[in-house]
Amino acid sequence: MVLTLRTLAPLLALLLLLTSGCDKENEDVSPLPDPPIYNKQVAFRIFTETDYSEARWQDSKVNLHLKLRRISTNLPKELIVMDTTFGWMPFQELPLKGAPMQLNKQLKEVHKEQDRLVLDVTKTVSINGYETVFRYEQTLDHSKQQETVEVKL
């Protein structure tokens, strides 16, 4: 019993179509989306970019207050997850960028769609007895499970 090329060709074509279809299914599989709830590690680097070692800064100091808030669309609407004050630090002892103070905070069960993480920074600067207050806020990045936040004095 000899099979001719005319008989074999349609079978080979059918076999080729069936096996190529299997590969196509594997290519269309999309990756699983990131889960909406995650744990976040935040490292705060606190430093100054200015060298205050000169004698004219001897009577100058800064008080730093950091507050990290979780603002949610669910209850509770706002939760303070970190509230830290660094007492009066003389300008001449402020850490430089090469050797910053570091504070680490782990946040559990952060929801990407319902929570917003906001850092409030308050710096009170006293230069020769005259005080000035600087305030700003910064929203943390949901796309990073580990984030470094720079706080410049």
Question: pLDDT tens-digit profile of 71-124?
Answer: 998 878 999 999 999 999 999 999 999 999 999 999 999 988 899 999 999 999
Helix H or strand E segment including 13:
helix 5-27
Contact 152, 48 (CB under 8 A): yes
Q: Higher model confidence: residue 126 or residue 8?
A: 126
Strands (E), the chain: 37-47, 60-72, 78-90, 101-111, 115-127, 130-139, 146-152
Select from 1.10.8, 1.10.3470, 2.160.20, 2.60.40 the CATH code of 37-152. 2.60.40
The predicted pLDDT at position 142 comes to: 84
Check pLDDT > 80 for residue 40. Answer: yes
* Sheet with strand 60-72: strands edge to edge: 78-90, 60-72, 115-127, 130-139
Average pLDDT, the chain: 86
Span 124-136, average pLDDT: 95
Beta partners for 50? none
The predicted pLDDT at position 96 comes to: 95
Span 18-36, average pLDDT: 63
What length is written for the chain?
153
| pLDDT band at residue 53 under the 50/70/90 scheme | very high
Check pLDDT > 80 for residue 29. Answer: no
